[in-house]
Chains A and B, each alone.
Chain A
Amino acid sequence: MSRYDRREAAIRQLLEGTPPVVPPDLYGEALRRGHRMLRRRAAVRRVLWALLCAVVLVCTVWALSARPWDRPPSDTTPSFTTW
């Protein structure tokens, strides 16, 4: 066993020490907070989807009313080629 290994073994022994007692309410607390996190994430997702739908709807309505693909009416007279 090298010197480094002995040092490591000593450190590991020191770290193991006396383990703390797990509080009985730890599972309940983690579950409650985890649930809250999940609910919050679901709410954020719903809001974002609603926002996306609203944006798509507004864009569609605007496109149908403004018809940006139509050629704009010409404001100059076409050039005269035949008399």
Chain B
Amino acid sequence: MHQRHVSKDARRAREFESFVAGAAGRLLHAATLLTAEHPDDNPRARRLLAAALAHTYATWDGLRGEDPYARARQQLAVRFARGAWRRHRAPSRPWSTGGAGPGQVPGAAVRQLRAALRQALLPQALRTGADAPADRAGAGRPRGVLHRLTPQERLVLVLRMYEGVAEEQTAALLGLSVERVHTICARAMSTLLHPPSGRTASLPKVVPS
């Protein structure tokens, strides 16, 4: 019995290792786009991905033929959405002060806040504004290409354009209507291609101005 348990653990760890080796690069890129961090300085994206992968590992035996990549991506999106909600609800968290950055989030505070989270409140949370503490904390740090967008726009854009998830699936995952996803995606694309402040993004020449 114990022997069987150990061999099952070893097999799961082996499968998971090959999955991480293959998928971590792309997932980390997606996470970095979501958090709007620079590719060379992305502690929040790394934390997000580690948590999503840990959950994927914990549910590995229950996948039953489901794609682990899709599961990890879903976890990434849901965790990012929850994080955005938390930042939106509590804009004056201690980690937004000083030069420490979001790397030193106290674990107890995170757990305490996580207990208060409810999935039903996610859509409202994502709708408004960019996540202010991230912007404040990252004032002196280089930022990613999507830093102009709100968390919701980033989430929809990354799922639709980078990951190629269908509109219907994106809508189901985020609890939005298909039309809403379409609108948000179009708005995010416009903001990205035509920045409002007059500063033009570094874009290829195929885009008509």
Query: Which residues from chain A contact B45 at a C-beta distance below 8 Å?
Result: 20
- Once A15-B33, A20-B39, A33-B51 are accepted as A-B contacts, the answer to whether A27 and B161 lie under 8 Å apart by CB is no
Most chain B CB atoms below 10 A, which of A16, A18, A23, A34: A34
List the count of A-B residue pairs having beta carbons below 8 Å apart: 103
Contact of A33 among B42, B50, B158, B161 (CB under 8 A): B50
CB <8 Å contact, A30 and B20: yes
Contact of B29 among A3, A11, A19, A30 (CB under 8 A): A19
Answer yes or no: B67 CB below 8 A from chain A CBs: no
Answer yes or no: A37 CB below 8 A from chain B CBs: yes
CB <8 Å contact, B207 and A10: yes
CB <8 Å contact, B39 and A34: no
B49: nearest chain-A partner, CB-CB: A26
Answer yes or no: A66 CB below 8 A from chain B CBs: no
Answer yes or no: A9 CB below 8 A from chain B CBs: yes
CB <8 Å contact, A30 and B206: no
CB <8 Å contact, B39 and A19: yes
Q: With A and B bound together, what is the CA distance between A55 and B25 in angstroms?
A: 50
A17: nearest chain-B partner, CB-CB: B145
Which secondary structure characterizes the binding site on chain B? helix
Query: Which residues from chain B contact A18 at a C-beta distance below 8 Å?
Result: 39
Answer yes or no: B196 CB below 8 A from chain A CBs: no
Answer yes or no: A6 CB below 8 A from chain B CBs: yes
Contact of B193 among A11, A17, A33, A38 (CB under 8 A): A11
Contact of A11 among B50, B60, B157, B208 (CB under 8 A): B157
* Min CB–CB distance B31 → chain A (angstroms): 9
- Once A11-B192, A15-B158 are accepted as A-B contacts, the answer to whether A41 and B28 lie under 8 Å apart by CB is no
CB <8 Å contact, B189 and A11: yes
Contact of B24 among A6, A26, A31 (CB under 8 A): A26
Answer yes or no: B13 CB below 8 A from chain A CBs: yes
Q: With A and B bound together, what is the CA distance between A9 and B207 in angstroms?
A: 9
Q: With A and B bound together, what is the CA distance between A11 and B33 in angstroms?
A: 12
Query: Which residues from chain B contact A27 at a C-beta distance below 8 Å?
Result: 16-17, 20-21, 24
Most chain B CB atoms below 10 A, which of A16, A20, A26, A34: A20
CB <8 Å contact, A11 and B42: no
Q: With A and B bound together, what is the CA distance between A7 and B186 in angstroms?
A: 10
As a 0/1 sequence over residues 43 to 73 of chain B, the CB contacts with chain A under 8 angstroms (1 = contact) are 0011001110111111010000000000000
Q: With A and B bound together, what is the CA distance between A23 and B60 in angstroms?
A: 22
The 3 closest A-B pairs by CB, nearest first: A34-B57, A33-B54, A30-B53
